[in-house]
């Protein structure tokens, strides 16, 4: 997935530092949770900065910018920082768990500084941080809000902090059929578009398969259940927390599975007999991003064997047909229901 061009939440996050309301610490280190690169980060001090990001395109952009990235679980549990920056996600339970983690990672006298878009819950995020940490300061810019704590000596409410830290833990869903967690796409249900696609997968699909944008593994599970001639499957997912759930849900799969934390839009290095996908059409904002789906289609064509088949589902209003016809010789509309469409494509065209 490509990154949003304008990241006003990121720009607003650094505004208190730019205006001298807060200082970048000269010692003690800075942890940036759900970090994203952009002009504001590039212009700031990087002294002692460590970045965490579970979304592969954003993580790659940070690495390409020369920044240090880590998985949060790899940090010593006792490691604390003088400043913790946060770009909370929209999903409420995931955001609360991340804020609890931010407060827990603050050294004595440290601060948490967060930023969110107003239309993605900035006021709620500020209120939640206040419940955890006590008094909050804020400023508003660019239809976003930055909010930060006073110097902390631990959470203001230890019981609440402990409760919120567990809010996004993996758990059984759908009567135990799958394991999932908040923050994953359609985390506590079966996405109706994916369900429609699964229902129309023919039993005779065979060979080496791939699932592009695999989420917690629903489509891959259905493909293996419905199509006994599938011999192996590779799951590609840009969100590491979703991929971890897919790995758990296919732990006992009947065929070999490979799990790749990967940005599909960067292309694939293998070819497949069958590719299935419910392509994303949002990146890190609410705006439609049909270019993501178009790129998934192009990558599928480049990665499909000559006699293979590509099965996808999409919102009916997304006009992917031009790209499909550019990339494949045969296009077939399989089903339309509930605002979604299922398409089979064959005959990948040679592409430069």
- The tens place of each residue's pLDDT in the chain, 352 residues long, gives 334 445 999 999 999 999 999 999 999 999 999 999 998 898 888 999 999 999 999 999 999 999 999 988 888 989 999 999 999 999 999 999 999 999 999 999 999 999 999 999 999 999 999 999 999 999 999 899 999 999 999 999 999 999 999 999 999 999 999 999 999 999 999 999 999 999 999 999 999 999 999 999 999 999 999 999 999 999 999 999 999 999 999 999 999 999 999 999 999 999 999 999 999 876 555 566 778 999 999 999 999 999 999 999 999 988 899 999 999 999 999 999 999 999 999 999 976 4
CA gyration radius for the chain? Answer: 22
pLDDT of residue 281: 74
Task: Let me know whether 185 and 309 are in one domain.
Answer: yes
d(CA 128, CA 291): 35
Q: In sequence order, which residues have a C-beta less than 8 Å from that of residue 308 and are 6 or more positions away? A: 207, 271, 272, 273, 274, 275, 346, 348
Q: Give the residues across from 84 on adjacent strands.
A: 31, 112
Whether residue 341 lies inside any domain: the answer is yes
Q: What are the strands of the beta sheet with 69-70, ordered from one edge?
A: 69-70, 49-52, 30-33, 81-86, 106-117, 144-149, 136-141
In a domain, 2, yes or no: no
Single residue among 165, 187, 222 that ends a domain in this structure: 165
Q: How many Å apart are CA 245 and CA 241, to the nearest integer?
A: 7
Q: Are residues 101 and 234 in the same domain?
A: no
234 within some domain = yes
Helix (H) or strand (E) holding 307: strand 304-315
Domain count, the chain: 2
Task: Take residue 38 and report the two structure tokens written for it.
Answer: 């952009």
Whether residues 27 and 76 share a domain: the answer is: yes
Same domain, 57 and 85: yes
Distance CA 97, CA 277 (A): 30
Burial class (CB in 10 A: 0-12, 13-18, 19+), 81: buried
Same-domain check for residues 58 and 138? yes
- Residue 1 located in a structural domain: no
The pLDDT, as a whole number, for residue 182 is: 96
Q: Flag whether 317 is in a domain.
A: yes
335 and 197 share a domain?
yes
Same domain, 213 and 333: yes
Tell me: do 188 and 301 sit in the same domain. Answer: yes
Domain's final residue, options 165, 187, 204? 165
Q: Domain check: are 114 and 194 in the same one?
A: no
For residue 100, being part of any structural domain is answered with yes
Distance in angstroms (rounded) separating the CA atoms of residues 58 and 37: 7
Strand, helix or coil for residue 280: coil
Cβ–Cβ under 8 Å, residues 128 and 138 = no
Are residue 103 and residue 218 in the same domain, yes or no? no
> Is residue 3 situated within a structural domain?
no
Report the CATH number at residue 283.
Answer: 3.40.50.150
Helix (H, G, I), strand (E, B) or coil at 260: strand
Range of the domain at 68: 8-165
Read off the pTM: 0.93
Predicted confidence at residue 352, as pLDDT, reads 45
**CB neighbours of residue 235 within 10 Å:** 26
Judge whether 83 and 25 are in contact, CB under 8 Å: yes
Phi/psi region, residue 312 (left: phi>0; alpha: psi -120 to 50; beta: rest), is: beta
Residue 104, domain member (yes or no): yes
Residues 6+ apart with CB under 8 A from 234: 208, 209, 210, 211, 257, 258, 259, 260, 270, 272
Do 46 and 148 reside in the same domain of the chain? yes
Domain end position, chosen among 165, 186, 209: 165
**Together in a domain, 140 and 273:** no
């Amino acid at each position: 997935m490509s990154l949003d061009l304008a990241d006003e939440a990121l720009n607003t996050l650094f505004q208190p530092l730019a205006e001298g309301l807060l200082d970048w610490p000269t010692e003690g280190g800075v942890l940036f949770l759900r970090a994203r690169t952009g002009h504001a980060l590039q212009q700031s001090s990087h002294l002692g900065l460590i970045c965490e990001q579970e979304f592969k395109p954003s993580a790659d952009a940070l690495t390409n910018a020369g920044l240090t990235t880590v998985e949060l679980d790899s940090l010593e549990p006792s490691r604390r920082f003088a400043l913790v920056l946060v770009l909370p996600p929209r999903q409420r339970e995931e955001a609360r768990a991340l804020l609890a983690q931010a407060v827990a990672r603050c050294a004595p006298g440290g601060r948490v500084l967060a930023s969110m878009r107003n239309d993605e819950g900035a006021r709620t995020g500020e209120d939640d941080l206040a419940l955890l940490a006590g008094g909050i300061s804020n400023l508003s810019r660019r239809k976003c809000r930055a909010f930060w704590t006073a110097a902390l000596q631990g959470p203001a409410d230890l019981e609440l902090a402990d409760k919120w830290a567990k809010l996004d833990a993996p758990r059984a869903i759908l009567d135990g059929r799958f394991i999932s967690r908040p923050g994953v796409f359609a985390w506590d249900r079966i996405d109706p578009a994916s369900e429609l696609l699964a229902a129309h997968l023919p039993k005779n699909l065979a060979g080496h398969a791939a699932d592009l944008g695999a989420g917690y593994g629903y489509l891959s599970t259905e493909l293996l259940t419905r199509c006994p001639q599938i011999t192996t499957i590779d799951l590609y997912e840009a969100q590491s927390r979703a991929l971890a759930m897919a790995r758990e849900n296919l732990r006992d799969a009947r065929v070999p599975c490979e799990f790749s934390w990967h940005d599909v839009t960067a292309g694939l290095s293998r070819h497949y007999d069958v590719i299935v996908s419910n392509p994303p059409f949002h990146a890190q904002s609410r705006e439609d991003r049909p270019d993501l789906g178009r790129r998934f289609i192009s990558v599928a064509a480049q990665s499909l064997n000559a006699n293979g088949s590509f099965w996808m589902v999409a919102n009916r209003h997304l006009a992917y047909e031009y790209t499909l016809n550019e990339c494949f010789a045969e296009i077939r509309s399989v089903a339309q229901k509930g605002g979604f469409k299922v398409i089979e494509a064959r005959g990948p065209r040679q592409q430069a």
